Structure 1
Amino acid sequence: MGTRHVITGELKSRIDRVWDAFWSGGISNPLEVIEQITYLLFIKRLDEIETRELKKAGRFPNAQVTLRFGADEQELRWSRFKGLDPETMFKTVAHKVFPYLQQLGGDGSTYSHHMRDARFTIPSPALLDRVVTMLDTLPMEDRDTKGDLYEYMLSKIATAGHNGQFRTSRHIIQLMVEMTAPRPGDRICDPACGTAGFLVEANEYVRRVHPEVLHDAGQREHFHQKMFHGFDFDGTMLRIGSMNMLLHGVESPDIRYRDSLAESVSGDAGEYSLILANPPFAGSLDYESTSKDLQRVVKTKKTELLFLALFLRLLRTGGRAAVIVPDGVLFGSSKAHKELRRMLVEDHKLDGVVKLPSGTFKPYSGVSTAILFFTKTNSGGTDHVWFYEVTADGWSLDDKRTPLLPAEKLGPGAALTDDEHAKNNLPDALARWARRDGDELQRARTEQSFCVPKADIVEQGYDLSLNRYKEIVHEEVEHRSPLDILADLERLEAEIQQGMTDLKAMLG
C-alpha cells in the first residue's frame, strides 16, 4: 500500500482562510462553497488547456488543435481576468465568464455537460478577488497534490447532506477497494456516487497496483473513458464528483444524471464488472416511482433492498460487488428482505459480510451497517460465507471521530502490532479476507472472523447477522458460597443499625 502524500498544514490553512472568507462573505453552506470553487477550478483549467493547445499550434503548424476561446473571448480567460481590479473582474466573471460556461455543454465532455446550470453566487468583488488569488497560487501541477487538496475541501462537507447523502470515510472506501482489488479491464460503477469517493479510490488503486494501464494506448483509453461510471440525481454532486475525478487524473469518466431506482435498467443491465457503493438508506419509495425492472426482482418500497436488486441487474455475470447496507438488510423479516438474501445465497455467490462498528458513519448517522461482498453468478456457488466483526476502525467511535493512531497506521494497508490492531482492525480484515478459502475455514466461531457453511445459513432462514453465528466464550467465574455472602450482609446490617442508634442518640 503506497504511502499517501499528506498535504502540508500550510496548504490546509490557505484553504481554511478561503473558507473563512466565504463564511464572512455570507456563504456558509459548505456545498455551495465547494461548488463555487469547483466552477473557478474548471475555468482555470480551460485556460491551462487553451495555453497548451496554443503552444502546440505554435510548434506544429499542421497539428490538430482545439481552441475554445475566440479572438473576442480572450478576456474570459483566467490568465487575463485574474489581473483585473476586483470590480472589473467581478463584472467580467458574472456577466461574461459564467454565460460562456453555461453554453459549453456541446463539446461532449462530462465536465462541460455538468456546467450547463452553473450559477455564480459569490456576492462581492472583494471575495472573488481573494478566492481567485488563492486558487491561482495553489500548486495544481501535481496530480496527487491536486487530488488531495480537493479531498481536503470535500472533507469540509461534514454536515449531513441532503437526501440522506453523506461522505463515506476514506478508510472504509479503501478497505472495500483493496478487498475487491480492481483490475485494468474492469468497468466499475457506483450508482449512488455522490462526490465519487469510491471511483477516485479505485482509480488510485489501479494506478498503484497496475501502473501498466497508463503505458499501453488501448488500456489507457479504457482507463480514461470506459472504466469509471457514477450516477447521481443531484446536479451539485455530479459537478463535484466529475471535478474530483478530473483532479485525480481521470480525463473523461462517465459521471451522469440518473435516478437509479426510478429509471429502467435495461440499457445498462449487465454492463459492469465491479460495483462499489454506499447507497442512501433514506426510507421507502412509492411503487409508482420505482423502476418496473427492479420491482420484478423484488417487490418492495425499501430503498436499500431496491439498490441491491439494482446492483444485481447492473452486474455482468461473474461481476462482483462490495456495498454498504444497514444492519436491517441482514436480518429483516419481511418477505422482500428474506427473498433478497435467499437470492444472494442461492442464485449467486455471497462471499462475505463485514460488520462495521455502529459509530462508523458518525457524526452523520448512528445507523449500524455492514459491507456485503457478493459475485453475480446466476448459478449459485455459495459454499460458505466469511464473517468479520470490525470493532475498531482506527478512529474514535463518538461524534468527534478523532484518529486513535498516527496517520501512517490508519487505513487497511498499515503494518500494525497486536496492540495497535485493537485500535484498527482493517489491516487484519484485509489479510484474513485473502485467506477466506484457506485457513480461515478452520477458525472457531468464537474468533473475530470465521466461516459459516451455506447449510447453516439456509437453516437460519438466510439470516446474515454475525451475532446469529458467533459463539461467545463465557469465562469460568469463582463464586463465593451463599452463606458467606449472607454473613457479610448480616454484618453490614448490624453496622447500619448501630449507626442509626448512634445518630439518634446525638440528635436526642
Structure 2
Amino acid sequence: MSLSNFVKRIRDIMRNDAGINGDAQRIEQIAWMLFLKVYDSKEQDWEMDEDDYQSIIPEECRWSSWAVDDKSGKAMTGNTLLNFVNNTLFPTLKGLNVTPDTPIKKSIVKTTFEDANNYMKDGVLLRQIINVIDELDFSDYEESHAFGEIYESILRELQSAGSAGEFYTPRAVTEFMAKMIQPKIGEKMADFACGTGGFITSWLKELAPLIQNTDDQADYDNSIYGIEKKQFPYILCITNMLLHGLDVPKIYHDNSLLRNVLDYTEDDQFDVILMNPPYGGSEKAAVKNHFPSDLASSETADLFMSVIMYRLKKNGRAAVILPDGFMFGTDNAKVAIKKKLLSEFNLHTIIRLPGSVFSPYTPITTNILFFDRTKPTTETWYYRLDKPEGYKHFSKTKPMKLEHFAPVVEWWDNRQELSVDGFDKAKKYTVQQLSEGLGYNLDQCGYPHEEEEVLNPMDLILRYEEQRASLNAEIDRVLADITAILGGTKRLPYTDRYEQAWSKLEDINKRFPTDMQKSILQLAIQGKLVEQRPEEGTADELLPLCRDDKARSIKEGKYKKEAFRGAITNNDYIPFEIPDSWNWMFISDMSLFQEGPGIMAVDFRITGVPLIRIAGMQTDIVSLEGCNYLDEDMVVSKWSHFRLDLGDIVISSSASMDKIAEVNEECVGSIPYTGLIRFKMYGGIDKNYFKWFIKSPCYMKQVNEQKAGGTIKHYGPSHLKKMVIPIPPLAEQQRIVAKLEEIMPLVRN
C-alpha cells in the first residue's frame, strides 16, 4: 500500500464520524486498531515458531477473523460491525483471564484494552478505517520497516493532543542521548515514564549494531524496561515495541511513583536510565509518603529524579531531561535533591537546550543532565547548544535534527571553556561553586538573548509556584540566619539577601497576571481553549465571504488593488500548528485596514470633523479626548475614505502599541490621525475575536519583527500585509470570545 498518505486517509475518513471529537480521540481510535493488526501479525509468526502456541484472544476476536475483508461480501460493516466491536470485542478483551503466570506477550492484550475506547459511531466509516489499516503488510520487511517511520509521524501528533507535561520527545534528542550514553551488550536500560517508547527505541537502535551472535541477540531482546502510567501512550508504546521486533516487551502499565523508594534493592536497579520525566503533572498528596521527607517535592519531575537516583546501579549511567524549574529552583526539596545528586553521583555534564526544541507544543526550556554513580561530583561542565544558523526557532516543519547536536559531540571529548559575544557558552564549575557559591542554583550558561517564553497556563502556574517556593525558602533561610545572629551564635551579612529575595518575590507576583493573560490568549489562538465542533463547519467556508468583501473594498476605492491569497499553505508563514478546521490567513485578506493620514497643524480648525488622537484611545471605546478638528469641506475632498464607521476597531501603531478601542456613535465620521490604524472586518470574522488576537503574543511577536524607526518604533499597513492570523469557524470564534470574557476578569483581579 502507499504509506505516504496513510495518516491522511484515516484522518479524512474519521473527520466525518460524529463520535470523534478532536485529535486525542482520533489517535486513540487508531491506536487500538493498529495494536490488534500488529499483534495479529506477531501471532502468525509465533504460531510458526511454536508448535503448541495458543492465542489468549478467542478466535472470533482475532483481527484475522473479524477485521479482514476477503471481498466475499461477508465482512461486517454498519451497525453489525459496531455492535460486534462495542458488545463483543471490547468486553472480551477487557475481561481476558490473566494470572501472574501469564506470559507478558499475552497479558499485554488485556492491559492494552483496560481503558481503551471505541469512539466511532458510524459502522460504515469504521469498516473503511479497518480496511485501510488491514492493507498494511507486516510480513513484508521493507513495508514493515517503512511503516516504522509512519508510526513515528503518528507519535509526533501526540504533541498537540497531549495535556500539560506530556509530549513526544523529539527523536533527535532521544537519539543524541542514547548515543552519548554508549550502550553495551548485556546492559539493561530503563525509562520509568516511557510514554510512547522514544528513548527505548533509540537505545535499541544504538545497541543493534553491536549484536554478533545469538547470545547478544538474547541480551538485546531483554535489555529494556519501561513503565507508563497513562493508558493511551502505553498502547502506543507496546505497539511500537512489537513493530521493533520485541516479542516480549517489558513495558508495564503502572505508576513509578507509587512504591516507596527506600524499598528498592539492587535487583530493582539498572545499568542505564534514559528519561524525560513529566513536568507539572499532579499526583495525589499520598505519593509524597513514598519519599524521604526532605525529598518529598510537590513537583512530578523532582519525584522522578529521586526515583532515578534510587534505581541507578553502582557504576550506572543516566541521561535525564529536566526543565529550567529544576535548575533554578532553590526550595527545600529541590535543594535536598541536588545535594543528593552532587554528593552521591557524578554530575559531569549539563547540556542547555534551546527553548523551541519541543516547539510548537510547549515552550518549556529544558536541559539534559548526564551523570553516573561512580563517585561524588567534583566538577560539572555546562554546554549551551545554540540554534543552528538560519533557524529562528524549531517547529513542526523545521524540527530539531540529530545533526544539530554536532557541535556538542565535537566538544564532548575535547572540552574547553567557550564564550560568544561575552557570554559563557561552555564552562566548568566546581562542586563548591555550585553548592556553596551558587546555593545549588544550577541555572548557569543560559541563553543571553532569549525570546519571550509564553507557557501554557498550567506550566505558567507551575513555574510561578516553583519561583515563589524558592524565594520563600530563601527568605526563611535568611530569617533563620537573623535568628542565629540575635542569639549570638552566628554572624552573616543577611540584609542584602533578604531584600533581594523579597524584591524578586514582589516582581513575580506583579508579573504573574500579565504572563497568565498572555498564556491564555496563546492557548485560545492555538485552538486549545475551547473544543472544536464538527457541526460548526470549517474556516474554509469563510474564504468566499472575505474574498468578496475585499473585492468590494477595492472596487469602491478603499483599498489598492491586491490579490486575495486565501488560506496560507506555505509553512514559512505559519508560526504554529492549528486545528484542521482552522485556516491561517493574511490579515489583509480578512479585514480592511487604513492608517490615518498625516495632517499638518496648519489644517486644524476650532470646530469641524474630529481628528482622533492617541489621547482618545485610553479606554476600549474611542473618544474625542484631546482631538483636533478639520474643515468639513477639506475632509470631503481629501480624506473622506478615512472616516470611521460604527464598530470599527482602532489601534495605536506608534509609541503606545497596546491601545485598542472600538468606534461608538460619538466618533462615527471622525478621522484617525497618523499612527492610528482602523480595521473593518470582512464577512465571517468576529471583530471581538480580532481584538483579542491583537492582544496576543502571536500578534505582538509579528509586530516586534516588523516595526521600524529609531527612538519611537512604529509599524504601518505595509507591515500588516505581511502578518498572519489563525482563523477558526465563526461559531468557534464567538465561543472563544465568550470564554475569554469569562476568564480574563478573574486573571486581571
- Verify same fold: TM over 0.5: yes
In structure 2, the residue matched to 1:228 is 224
- Whole-angstrom distance in 1 between the partners of 2:216 and 2:410: 29
Which deviates more from structure 2 when the two are superposed, residues 324-333 or residues 22-31? 22-31
1:325 aligns with 2:322: yes
Q: Does 1:383 align with 2:378?
A: yes
CA contact (8 A) 2:383 2:445 kept: no
Q: Greater relative contact order (Cα 8 A, min sep 6): structure 1 or 2?
A: 1
Look up the equivalent residue of 2:145 and give its one-letter code. Answer: D
Distance 1:396 1:291 in 2: 45
Q: 2:60 & 2:333 partners in 1: Cα distance?
A: 59
Q: In the alignment, what sits opposite 1:188?
A: 189
Task: Give the 3-state SS of the residue equivalent to 2:343 in structure 1.
Answer: helix
Partner of 2:13: 21
Deviation at 1:104, TM superposition (A): 4.0
Unaligned runs of 5+ in 2: 70-74, 449-599, 606-749
Note the residue ranges of structure 1 that are not aligned, 5 or more in a row.
1-7, 57-62, 405-409, 415-423, 471-501
Query: Could you say if the C-alpha distance between residues 237 and 85 of structure 1 is closer, same or farther in structure 2, counting changes exceeding 3 Å?
Result: closer
1:452 paired to 2:415? no
SS in structure 1 opposite 2:369? strand
Is 1:219 aligned to residue 196 of structure 2? no
- Percent identity over the alignment is 24
Deviation at 1:66, TM superposition (A): 0.7
Aligned counterpart, 1:244: 240
What is the aligned partner in structure 1 of residue 624 from structure 2? none
Contact conserved, 1:102 with 1:116, CA < 8 A, in 2? yes
Q: Does 1:335 align with 2:352?
A: no
**1:98 paired to 2:90:** yes
Q: 1:468 to 1:31 in 2, by over 3 A?
A: closer
Q: Which residue of 1 aligns with 2:41?
A: 48
- Residue of structure 1 in register with 2:203 after alignment: 202
- Is contact 1:262–1:291 with CA below 8 Å preserved after alignment? no
- 2:116 corresponds to 1:115: no
Bigger CA radius of gyration: 2
For 1:160 and 1:13, the matched residues in 2 are separated by: 20
Q: Is 1:351 paired with 2:348?
A: yes
1:138 paired to 2:117: no
1:461 maps onto 2:439 in alignment: yes
Alignment partner of 2:350: what SS? strand
Query: What are the superposed Cα offsets for residues 405-461 of structure 1, whole Å, 9 maximum, x if unpaired?
Result: xxxxx633x3xxxxxxxxx3x11112322x1xxx31465695632333334334333
Instruction: Output one character per residue of 1:46-81: Cα deviation in whole Å (capped at 9) or x when no partner.
Output: 44345445656xxxxxx63213289x9357442564
Which letter does structure 1 place at the counterpart of 2:54? L
Amino acid of the structure 2 residue aligned with 1:170: R
Q: Which of these residues, 59, 78, 89, is aligned with residue 73 of structure 1? A: 59
The code of the aligned residue for 1:21 comes to: I
Matched length: 434
Q: 1:33/1:78 Cα in 2 relative to 1: closer, same or farther (>3 Å)? A: farther
User: Counterpart of 1:427?
Assistant: 406
Q: Is the 8 A contact 1:395 1:403 kept in 2?
A: no
SS in 1 for 2:368: strand
Match of 1:493? none
Residues 195, 240 of structure 1: 8 Å contact kept? yes
Cα distance in 2 for residues equivalent to 1:349 and 1:40 = 45
Residue pair 1:354, 1:387 contacting (<8 A) in 2 also: yes
265-274 vs 21-30, greater mean Cα deviation: 265-274
2:391 & 2:397 partners in 1: Cα distance? 5
Instruction: Give the secondary-structure state (helix, strand or coil) at the position aligned to 1:11.
Output: coil
Q: Secondary structure at the match of 1:321?
A: strand
How far did 1:283 drift? 5.8
Deviations 1:185-205 (A, max 9, x none): 221111111111111111112
Inter-partner Cα distance in structure 2 for 1:120 and 1:337: 42
Q: How far apart, in 2, do the equivalents of 1:337 and 1:47 lie?
A: 47
Provide the C-alpha distance between the structure 2 equivalents of 1:29 and 1:395, rounded to a whole number of angstroms: 34
Q: Which structure 2 residues correspond to residues 291-306 of structure 1 after superposition, within 5 A?
A: 291-292=289-290, 294-296=291-293, 298-306=295-303
Q: Summarize the Cα distance change of 1:250–1:291 in structure 2 as closer, same or farther, 3 Å threshold.
A: farther
Question: Which of 385-394 and 453-462 deviates more?
Answer: 453-462
Secondary structure of the residue aligned to 1:385 is: strand
Task: Name the SS of the counterpart of 2:4 in structure 1.
Answer: helix
CA distance in 1, matches of 2:61, 2:304: 47
For residues 69 and 344 of structure 1, what CA distance do their matches in structure 2 show?
45
Shift, 1:355, TM fit: 0.6
Higher mean displacement: 346-355 or 176-185? 176-185
Partners of 1:268 and 1:231 in 2: CA distance: 18
The yes-or-no answer on 1:86 pairing with 2:55 is no
- Retained in 1: the 8 A contact 2:257–2:304? yes
Tell me the residue number matched to 1:11.
3
Secondary structure in 2 matching 1:281: coil
Report if aligned partners of 1:362, 1:397 keep a CA contact under 8 Å in 2.
no
Relative to 1, partners in 2 of residues 1:427 and 1:28: Cα closer, same or farther, differing over 3 Å?
farther
